[in-house]
């Protein structure tokens, strides 16, 4: 297919491109031998998306995946293989993985290094052309990397030797071992079986040997390559080469392709053991519309963790697949905002800034950061004189009709000693709310005097936290940004500090919230910015994030600290809750998030641009988890409690 036709039929529509190229990559033998099937599928895709414009109907799953993919333990798999004298291993998606779910995503990396736009398309098409030429010359489609780059040289002028060398170098640098297969390999070696490696691949022998060496797969007798043998597993003839080179009484082979690694191996007289493809297992759970490179990298990393490693608990999995990319991307966004505003110090507000600060400090150790104890309850009380309407809204209006007594309300407000003309056991309702609010509003000067000791402690604490910095960045999970707004007001209007405060939120108030426009003017002036969504950007997330379905709760639990809530300042210092709710669950979530960040940074250590993750990409896994199956996050947090009000009761999620 020539370039103009490819651009028209494939590249112009995201959905067509994704599905057609996915089909070709998943069925390489069929595509080579019967191109009409692939083209027929392409026609149907164009009919659906470009002619009839039928809507997407993604049937995504949500749930715990870890432990569901592998039906056997490594010991059981090794025992099956060890029944034979010679054991053959497939390479890609069996012994080795790329840090991407699609092999062609590697070509984005090459394109960046070569400074050639659309290199992924050029490289993919060059491989197809090289196979067509080889088929015409020798009757087989087996090619070498050099032949691919000879075609690329014709189209781009790229030096073929330099291009092939760079691809080999990149493959070696990025390859990752399959942890499950590492155990199987070690057990087969320990049993004394003769090991060979058999693969349909165009890469040079030296490249694959280096990749195997890097990932610890050593001790094999021979490496059989389709590109060298001019035949492959797909036609069964490469298995015949194995038997010819290593005469034995029995043979076994393990790989991920049901066609080449199972059916063809069995036809050649091998005991075939199927190794499930981790990306096929994970595909139904992954967000469909992430950007090309980040999406493929995200799928690759998560699939490997959940399907190729030991089973992990639900909280860890939730953190790894929903929170890791969110925290990592948010930190990159924070750094950009710090540079944009010239921030001299970054204040991570408790408790939602706890984990973000840990990751940020590892990424940017040279920057000044502070973990600041601050909360909705604390801010409302300290700013009662500045924003009395919000003070009464949080402590009274939001609790009306929820079973709170006057005594409980006054305790949350640190006013237990305040005399009121109501029995302390009176329950606050929508009916008596106006009267109680009017009464307390009339006594506001008296209430503020009750907080004088707290003001003194807060002033000293905040002065130390701010130091000499004049441009500050505050960091919070969300939603209205009141934490930053109130801190800014307290520093400037109460303490008289000459500071500029920019609040950075991970997510803003969503559309379907009663106070969705609470902070609209702050976003307009830039005093607040949001990473994932707000009224002005990422509208799909803004419109599909549902606080009523506990989306805020599930989101915040990706950030919160395993420590007691900060209740505010007293005459003697800082006061915290008596218990740390959900501490163990939060630690497991954090463990998953930190492992994701470490895995991502290690895999892409030579590509700093992979730290730039858009809010849309970062939010997509969470959105999939809460929208594709509402029972999934509820199952993760079934034993957890959460306070959705200010200084209120902790209730089971």
User: Tell me, what's the pLDDT at 367?
Assistant: 96
Q: Express each pLDDT in 560-584 by its tens digit.
A: 899 999 999 999 999 998 888 889 9
Q: Express each pLDDT in 369-423 by its tens digit.
A: 999 999 999 999 999 999 999 999 999 998 999 999 999 999 999 998 888 888 8
User: Tell me, what's the pLDDT at 623?
Assistant: 92
Looking at the structure, tell me whether residues 554 and 634 fall in a common domain. yes
Number of independent structural domains in the chain:
4
Give whole-number Cα distances, 56 to 182, 365, 432, 453, in Å: 39, 44, 50, 59
Looking at the structure, tell me whether residues 557 and 426 fall in a common domain. no
User: What angle (nearest 5°) sits at the alpha carbon of residue 116, between those of residues 110 and 122?
Assistant: 80
User: Tell me, what's the pLDDT at 28?
Assistant: 62
Among candidates 359, 298, 370, which has minimal Cα distance to 333?
Answer: 359
**How much is the average pLDDT of 88-102?**
96
User: Tell me, what's the pLDDT at 78?
Assistant: 97
Percent with pLDDT over 70 in the chain: 95
User: Tell me, what's the pLDDT at 310?
Assistant: 85
Residue 294 located in a structural domain:
no
DSSP class of residue 640? Answer: -
Give the chain's length: 653
Looking at the structure, tell me whether residues 129 and 146 fall in a common domain. yes
User: Tell me, what's the pLDDT at 81?
Assistant: 97
Q: Who contacts 320 (Cβ-Cβ below 8 Å, separation ≥6)?
A: 302, 305, 306, 312, 592, 593, 595, 596
Residue 339 located in a structural domain:
yes
As a 3-state breakdown, the chain gives helix, strand, coil percent values, each rounded to 5, of 55, 10, 35
Among positive and negative, which fits the CA dihedral 510, 512, 518, 521? positive
pLDDT above 80 for 1: no
Q: Which domain holds residue 487?
A: 314-378+452-652
- What is the residue-wise DSSP string for 152-173? HHHHH---HHHHHHHHHHHHHH
Residue 210 located in a structural domain:
yes
* β-sheet bridge partners, residue 196: 88, 222
Looking at the structure, tell me whether residues 500 and 358 fall in a common domain. yes
Q: Would you state the structure tokens that stand for residue 76, as one six-digit string? A: 């059981």
| Mean pLDDT taken over the chain | 91
Q: Would you state the structure tokens that stand for residue 593, as one six-digit string? A: 């998030």
User: Tell me, what's the pLDDT at 218?
Assistant: 96
Residue 299 located in a structural domain:
no
**Weakest mean pLDDT among 45-49, 296-300, 557-561:** 45-49
Question: Residue 512 in contact with residue 403, Cβ under 8 Å?
Answer: no
Looking at the structure, tell me whether residues 486 and 429 fall in a common domain. no
Domain boundary among 262, 279, 296: 279
Q: Who contacts 507 (Cβ-Cβ below 8 Å, separation ≥6)?
A: 477, 478, 479, 530, 531, 532, 533, 541, 545, 555, 619
Longest dimension (CA), the chain: 99
DSSP class of residue 268? Answer: T
Looking at the structure, tell me whether residues 548 and 641 fall in a common domain. yes
Q: How far apart are CA 638 and CA 635, in angstroms?
A: 5
Give whole-number Cα distances, 107 to 31, 100, 415, in Å: 20, 11, 64
Q: Which residue has the higher pLDDT, 62 or 556?
A: 556
Q: Express each pLDDT in 303-361 by its tens digit.
A: 999 999 888 999 999 999 999 999 999 999 999 999 999 999 999 999 999 999 999 99
**Weakest mean pLDDT among 137-151, 461-475, 638-652:** 638-652
Domain boundary among 279, 300, 325: 279
Q: Which residue has the higher pLDDT, 512 or 95?
A: 95
- The number of angstroms, rounded, from the C-alpha of 357 to the middle of its chain's C-alpha atoms is 18
User: Tell me, what's the pLDDT at 533?
Assistant: 94
Q: Express each pLDDT in 484-507 by its tens digit.
A: 999 999 999 999 999 999 999 999
User: Tell me, what's the pLDDT at 188?
Assistant: 98
User: Tell me, what's the pLDDT at 142?
Assistant: 85
CATH number at residue 201: 3.40.50.1000
User: Tell me, what's the pLDDT at 15?
Assistant: 66
Looking at the structure, tell me whether residues 325 and 424 fall in a common domain. no
pLDDT above 60 for 57: no
User: Tell me, what's the pLDDT at 26?
Assistant: 59
**How much is the average pLDDT of 272-291?**
92
Domain boundary among 218, 252, 279: 279
Residue 302 located in a structural domain:
no
pLDDT above 70 for 59: no
On whether the pTM is more than 0.85, the answer is yes
User: Tell me, what's the pLDDT at 54?
Assistant: 64
pLDDT above 80 for 550: yes
User: What angle (nearest 5°) sits at the alpha carbon of residue 650, between those of residues 647 and 651?
Assistant: 140
Looking at the structure, tell me whether residues 562 and 546 fall in a common domain. yes
Orientation angle between helical segments 145-156 and 160-174, nearest 10 degrees: 130
Q: Express each pLDDT in 604-639 by its tens digit.
A: 999 999 999 999 999 999 999 988 767 888 888 888
pLDDT above 60 for 103: yes
Residue 68 located in a structural domain:
no
User: Tell me, what's the pLDDT at 25?
Assistant: 60
Looking at the structure, tell me whether residues 253 and 396 fall in a common domain. no
Looking at the structure, tell me whether residues 471 and 408 fall in a common domain. no
At 4, the pLDDT band (50, 70, 90 cuts) reads low
**How much is the average pLDDT of 534-548?**
89
Residue 295 located in a structural domain:
no
User: Tell me, what's the pLDDT at 586?
Assistant: 94
pLDDT above 90 for 67: no
Looking at the structure, tell me whether residues 554 and 638 fall in a common domain. yes
Q: Express each pLDDT in 28-54 by its tens digit.
A: 666 766 778 888 888 888 888 778 766
Residue 564 located in a structural domain:
yes
Question: Residue 499 in contact with residue 491, Cβ under 8 Å?
Answer: yes
Looking at the structure, tell me whether residues 339 and 443 fall in a common domain. no
**How much is the average pLDDT of 592-597?**
98
């Amino acid at each position: 297919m020539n370039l103009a036709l490819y651009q028209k039929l494939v590249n112009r529509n995201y959905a067509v491109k994704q599905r057609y190229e996915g089909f070709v990559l998943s069925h390489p033998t069929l595509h080579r031998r019967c191109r009409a099937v692939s083209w027929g599928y392409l026609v149907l895709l164009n009919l659906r998306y470009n002619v009839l414009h039928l809507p997407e109907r993604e049937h995504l799953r949500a749930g715990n995946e870890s432990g569901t993919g592998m039906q056997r333990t490594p010991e059981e798999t090794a025992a099956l293989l060890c029944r034979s004298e010679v054991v053959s291993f497939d390479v890609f998606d069996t012994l080795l993985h790329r840090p991407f779910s699609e092999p062609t995503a590697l070509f984005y990396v090459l394109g960046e290094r070569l400074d050639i736009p659309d290199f992924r398309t050029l490289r993919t098409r060059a491989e197809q052309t090289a196979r067509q030429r080889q088929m015409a010359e020798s009757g087989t489609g087996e090619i070498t990397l050099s032949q691919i780059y000879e075609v690329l040289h014709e189209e781009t002028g790229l030096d073929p030797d330099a291009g092939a060398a760079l691809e080999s170098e990149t493959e070696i640098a990025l390859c990752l071992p399959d942890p499950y297969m590492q155990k199987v390999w070690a057990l087969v070696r320990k049993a004394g079986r003769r090991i060979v490696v058999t693969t349909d691949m165009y890469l040079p022998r030296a490249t694959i040997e280096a990749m195997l060496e890097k990932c610890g797969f050593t001790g094999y007798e021979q490496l059989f390559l389709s590109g060298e043998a001019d035949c492959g597993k797909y036609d069964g003839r490469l298995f015949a080469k194995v038997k010819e080179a290593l005469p034995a009484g029995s043979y076994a082979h393990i790989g991920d392709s049901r066609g080449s690694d199972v059916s063809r191996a069995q036809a050649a007289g091998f005991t075939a053991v199927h190794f499930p493809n981790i990306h096929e297992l994970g595909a139904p759970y992954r967000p469909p519309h992430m950007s090309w490179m980040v999406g493929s990298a995200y799928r690759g990393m998560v699939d490997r963790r959940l399907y190729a490693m030991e089973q992990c608990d639900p909280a860890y999995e939730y953190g790894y697949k929903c929170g890791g990319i969110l925290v990592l991307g948010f930190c990159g966004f924070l750094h950009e905002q710090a540079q944009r505003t010239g921030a001299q110090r970054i204040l991570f507000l408790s408790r939602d800034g706890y984990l973000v600060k840990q990751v940020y400090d590892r990424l940017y150790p040279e920057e000044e950061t502070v973990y600041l104890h601050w909360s909705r309850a604390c801010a409302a009380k300290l700013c009662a004189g500045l924003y009395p309407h919000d003070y009464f809204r949080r402590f009274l209006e939001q609790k009306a009709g929820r079973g709170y007594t006057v005594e409980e309300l006054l305790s949350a407000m640190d006013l237990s000693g305040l005399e009121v003309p109501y029995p302390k056991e009176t329950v606050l309702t929508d009916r008596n709310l106006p009267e109680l609010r009017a009464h307390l509003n009339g006594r506001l000067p008296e209430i503020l005097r009750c907080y004088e000791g707290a003001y003194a402690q807060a002033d000293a604490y905040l002065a130390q936290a701010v130091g000499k910095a004049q441009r500050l960045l505050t960091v919070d999970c969300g939603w209205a940004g009141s934490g930053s707004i109130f801190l800014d007001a307290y520093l400037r209007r109460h303490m008289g500090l000459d500071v500029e405060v920019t609040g950075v939120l991970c997510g803003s108030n969503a559309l379907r919230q009663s106070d969705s426009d609470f902070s609209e003017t702050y976003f307009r002036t830039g005093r607040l910015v949001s990473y994932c969504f707000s009224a002005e950007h990422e509208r799909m997330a803004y419109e599909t994030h549902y606080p009523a379905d506990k989306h805020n709760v599930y989101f915040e639990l990706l950030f919160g600290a395993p420590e007691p809530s900060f209740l505010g300042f007293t005459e003697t210092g800082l006061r915290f809750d008596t218990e740390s709710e959900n501490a163990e669950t939060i630690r497991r979530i954090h463990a998953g998030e930190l492992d994701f960040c470490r895995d991502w940074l290690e895999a892409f250590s030579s590509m700093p641009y992979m730290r730039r993750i858009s809010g849309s990409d970062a939010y997509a896994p969470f959105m999939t988890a809460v929208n594709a199956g509402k029972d999934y996050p509820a199952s993760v947090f079934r034993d957890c409690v959460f306070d959705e009000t200010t200084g209120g009761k902790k209730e089971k999620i």
